[in-house]
Amino acid sequence: MSARLVSKEGICAYLGDISPSTYDSWHAKGIVPGPLRGTSRYDIRAHDAALDKASGLDSRVEGKKMSPLEEWVQSHAA
């Protein structure tokens, strides 16, 4: 079983072995959400959702409503 919450090094590896400085740049541009509020852990699913949105794959684009869990994750990702 893979962990859902990972360190900064872990999320950088997950995103294609990008450098921490590249991650910081993406975060400053709003491409990725950053760590969960009050922690130093990064939510893999929140990053998947952010990348889906950035690449036009966001389910809301197709007219689907987000589930309450998806709404909660998105609201707590920043």
pLDDT in tens, 3-55: 999 999 999 999 999 999 999 999 999 999 999 999 999 999 999 999 998 88
**What are the residue boundaries of the structural domains of the chain, listed by start?**
5-77
3-state secondary structure of 63: coil
How is residue 62 annotated by DSSP? Answer: G
- Residue with the two structure tokens 């949105």: 53
- Going by pLDDT thresholds of 50, 70 and 90, the confidence category of residue 62 is low
